[in-house]
């Protein structure tokens, strides 16, 4: 094979590799801080020790979820529009990637749908959950219910990051953590050994997705 062809193949391979690296590169601290600010955090990444190694610890999970986002942008946009209309940070529109990998028919242990709602939570916020009609599996209806839930949590706890913590860990758990630590500071709550690991993982991976998709300037969605 002529050297010129070999060089051309290598060059094309290199371009593809660089493109892949760029596509899945973890967002910069500035983008992560912008996401934190949208959630009304007064602290930045370098002040939050439990998230200090967020880029390395959640790289694999983040890459998997970002790849899923690339495959479901049309469906995601319908969810995002609802959050935009409600005035809720777009961080929350990305939670289904962590909860269900954005699969409307997903089932967990006693949970279902994009948002993995329990039957009681779904009913509390206006969804029908019956054997032949489970609105948790309806992407539009379940998203409307989540918006009502998040607005309620924001009203109760005061900041958007606390609304996420309450959604992911439960209101009772969050109230106990706040009472125990005598603070609502994000860095302190996440450091508590009793903060649920699943809620911390959801927050971290969604934070990375939000930073990449909504606050990284070179992202294609900003063109």
Tell me, what's the pLDDT at 60? 86
CA atoms within 13 A on the CB side of 201: 13
Mean pLDDT, rounded, for 8-13: 43
Q: What is the pTM of this model?
A: 0.84
- pLDDT range class, residue 4, cuts 50, 70, 90: low
pLDDT digits over 16-37, tens only? 433 444 455 768 899 999 999 9
Name the fold adopted by 28-222: Lysozyme (1.10.530)
Banded pLDDT at 10 (limits 50, 70, 90)? very low
> What's the average model confidence in pLDDT over 180-188?
97
Rounded distance, CA 8 to CA 210, Å? 37
- What is the overall mean pLDDT for the chain? 87
Q: Is the pLDDT of residue 8 over 50?
A: no
pLDDT in tens, 101-158: 999 999 988 899 999 998 988 898 889 999 889 999 999 999 999 999 999 999 999 9
SS3 for 117? strand
Angstrom distances, CA of residue 28 to CA of 18, 68, 106, 135: 17, 21, 32, 38
Structure-derived torsion over alpha carbons of residues 164, 90, 71, 22, reported in degrees to the nearest 10: -100
Which comes out higher in pLDDT, residue 102 or 52? Answer: 102
User: Of 95, 105, 102, which is closest to residue 74 (Cα–Cα)?
Assistant: 102
> Hey, what long-range contacts does 103-108 have (CB within 8 A, 24 or more apart)?
104/137, 104/138, 104/139, 104/142, 105/137
Beta-carbon contacts of 208 under 8 Å, excluding residues fewer than 6 positions away, are 26, 27, 32, 54, 55, 58, 62
- pLDDT number for residue 11: 41
Residue scoring higher pLDDT (56 or 188): 188
CA distance 114 to 101: 8
pLDDT level of residue 5 (50, 70, 90 thresholds): low
Tell me, what's the pLDDT at 53? 87
- Among all chains, which residue has been given the structure tokens 């596509």? 23
Bridge partner list, 111: 118
Q: What is the pLDDT of residue 129?
A: 92
């Amino acid at each position: 094979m002529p050297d010129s062809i070999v060089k051309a193949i290598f060059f094309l391979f290199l371009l593809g590799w660089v493109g892949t690296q760029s596509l899945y590169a973890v967002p910069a601290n500035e983008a992560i801080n912008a996401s934190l600010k949208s959630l009304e955090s007064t602290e930045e990444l370098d002040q939050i020790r439990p998230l200090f190694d967020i880029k390395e610890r959640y790289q694999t999970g983040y890459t998997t979820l970002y790849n899923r986002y690339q495959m479901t942008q049309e469906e995601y946009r319908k969810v995002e529009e609802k959050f935009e209309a409600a005035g809720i940070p777009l961080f929350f529109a990305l939670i289904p990637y962590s909860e269900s990998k954005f699969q409307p028919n997903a089932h967990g242990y006693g949970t279902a749908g994009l948002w993995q709602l329990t039957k009681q939570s779904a009913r509390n916020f206006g969804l029908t959950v019956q054997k032949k009609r489970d609105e948790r599996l309806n992407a539009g209806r379940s998203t409307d219910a989540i918006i009502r839930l998040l607005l309620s949590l924001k009203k109760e706890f005061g900041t958007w990051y606390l609304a996420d913590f309450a959604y992911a860990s439960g209101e009772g758990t969050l109230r106990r953590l706040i009472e125990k630590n005598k603070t609502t500071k994000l860095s302190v709550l996440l450091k508590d050994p009793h903060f649920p690991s699943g809620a911390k993982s959801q927050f971290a991976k969604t934070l990375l997705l939000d930073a990449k998709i909504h606050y990284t300037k070179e992202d294609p969605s900003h063109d």
